Structure 1
């Protein structure tokens, strides 16, 4: 029997999400309805009600896969590094990641994984028998990555480097020059790069003139990029994601494994996603979500400033999540699990504890992950509840038993 660690963040969401009054843990951009989608770009025949509901296109319709491929066109270019034939549609990014890892990693392999990140990206390779080394972000450097440490982690049997760009939970990004250096290291050792880009292209706080390319843009064949409709595109409910690669053999390997898990996504889901990713709809949708992220971040900025004695953070540059550290007046980390539990019990506001859900109970003590791209009223009401807790209950919280390990 395959042994795999419990998926801490998903289990926390399962326990607490349905009872939350103010969900500040949601990582998807505020969801939209089909009417909202059509308001962004009208289409008379979004759903063909006369079409019989048989299996859809096995790998996804050509229209959908073409629109996904177009997401990877560099700014100002109409040319994508991938074609529709190098895109495989899946049941969400979580299946895309699983299939790509299942296909490319096994016993005897060594994997390097950016950290902190979504637990799937390191627990799944471990369950397949791979040795996993964590490439740790440096909080003191804005959650940046030390390329020297990456080079030191490479072994003779290193099969894969796993990235999460933009990064969950910190909202940090790997810049073009950093990605180029990672590609150079991978090319030197013939290592696959697996880049979970599920929060791409929700870039709302970059420096002027800065662009964050996909891993597919570096002319290195040995890469996998995954994405979905859930985070940047507000359509988590249709459960649609994808795998893209410059290497047709990687795509075919993932497609072969996919046959055991999914015949096709639904025709309706495919049609909705194809429309959402068509122009001008996708541009209007991203504009809506980027503006919402900036509006809500301004509200979060005000909260952090108000409680600067208790809250420390590196302001996120992209995506939908922020990683906040909560301390007492002596600078000691609070018990983040107790904080999240008591906050929700007393106010209905939901957050995710960093140590439990991203640090295996050891790292990131005192941290919480907040999702800051819900509807603006959800954000404002949630922060109001959090403010009340900070004033009335916060100083009663227990301190953490362990120091954060970075």
Structure 2
């Protein structure tokens, strides 16, 4: 299967260009990263071993260690047990997504992708020869999806629906009722559901008891579903490149395993063992509690900023994940979000992500905030942003009409 030339990956290029010189990185999408010492401090068992230096550094278990896959299987087994052999370990969620798409999508297929979202999820299917339609969530509906719109997009050759739950960049969720309806549609048309769940389980503003609380797609009563994830976002461990593909379908997992054999073979044994330690019962509860509390605290700080500048910005307050999508305007007209973000990094050291560059031309005026950095970074960065809003905001150009 030949890959067509991919278009530039805008958000990753923006991050690569600016993050090394940012003084206040409020664009980062991971919960504030931690060191191995800090990870061990979160363990309920201080005697547990994070890494054995006597381990020989072979390729290790090709699909991922039994310990890591068993720990992950436990996370997906709340309603129905998932076997460890239904999980494939990859170098990050980006490799997981790439492997799934390369394995299952090709010329002649039609793919429907939740939007806005991470550019990889719709550009890679295009590069593989598939036709792609965007299933748009809209701000006026609080970034929720419409099942009737999905039904109207389905064609005879539709093979896959891709969702991102929780959603980057908006921080919203696809509710349980919408997921249930999605499964009904998928069953009717024999579709594969691929869910990028990389921000799961960072639910900071919704209770598991809420009827809207979204389960993983692996908890839904349908076999042809795939979930991808990683330890980077909700688990603060982007520095170890560990992600995964999980499915209850042996056929789908085997297809991904065959494709993966041509690329990464296995992940680093060191990374695998650190991830297994982080997701163990001794550590995961302390780690997630630390991260959810940080997200709640920082979201409150960002909410106060938005409230203070209602004359310039508006948002749908995030429910989960690490990002917020905030729209800036002047006198009812959208600002040039790229000029805004460039001016901020140059004059204040604040790094944000421009919506129209990183998520699509229709998002002029939108800026993505990554609010789960260290609290002091957010505090100091927003103070600098307040100064800019008072002194420099009115000098910003307006967005050009599309």
Provide TM-score, normalisation by structure 1. 0.96
Counterpart of 2:238? 236
Q: Are positions 1:346 and 2:350 aligned together?
A: no
Q: Are positions 1:365 and 2:369 aligned together?
A: no
* Mapped contact 1:138–1:146 kept (Cα < 8 A): no
CA deviation digits over 1:146-189, x for unaligned, max 9? Answer: 11100100100000000000000000101111101001101100
Match 1:51 to one of 55, 68, 87? 55
Q: Are positions 1:326 and 2:328 aligned together?
A: yes
* Mapped contact 1:7–1:119 kept (Cα < 8 A): yes
Counterpart of 1:198? 198
* Mapped contact 1:117–1:167 kept (Cα < 8 A): yes
Counterpart of 2:157? 157
Aligned length: 396
Q: Distance in 1 between matches of 2:47 and 2:151?
A: 50
Q: Are positions 1:384 and 2:350 aligned together?
A: no
Q: Distance in 2 between matches of 1:246 and 1:171?
A: 27
Q: Are positions 1:107 and 2:130 aligned together?
A: no
Q: Distance in 2 between matches of 1:272 and 1:185?
A: 39
Q: Distance in 1 between matches of 2:186 and 2:157?
A: 12
CA deviation digits over 1:55-98, x for unaligned, max 9? Answer: 11111011100111111133xx6x53x21000000000000000
TM superposition shift of 1:201 = 0.4
Q: Distance in 2 between matches of 1:45 and 1:370?
A: 36
Which stretch shifts more, 258-267 or 350-359? 258-267
TM superposition shift of 1:207 = 5.2
Q: Distance in 2 between matches of 1:168 and 1:72?
A: 22
Partner SS, residue 363 of structure 1: helix
Counterpart of 1:282? 284
Which stretch shifts more, 308-317 or 43-52? 43-52
* Mapped contact 1:105–1:125 kept (Cα < 8 A): yes
Q: CA RMSD in A?
A: 1.1
Match 1:312 to one of 311, 314, 317? 314
Q: Distance in 2 between matches of 1:118 and 1:203?
A: 19
* Mapped contact 1:322–1:369 kept (Cα < 8 A): yes
TM superposition shift of 1:250 = 0.7
Unaligned stretches of 5+ residues in structure 2? none
Match 2:72 to one of 64, 68, 71? 68
TM superposition shift of 1:251 = 0.5
Q: Distance in 2 between matches of 1:323 and 1:396?
A: 22
Partner SS, residue 379 of structure 1: helix
1:208/1:254 CA distance change after superposition, 3 Å = closer
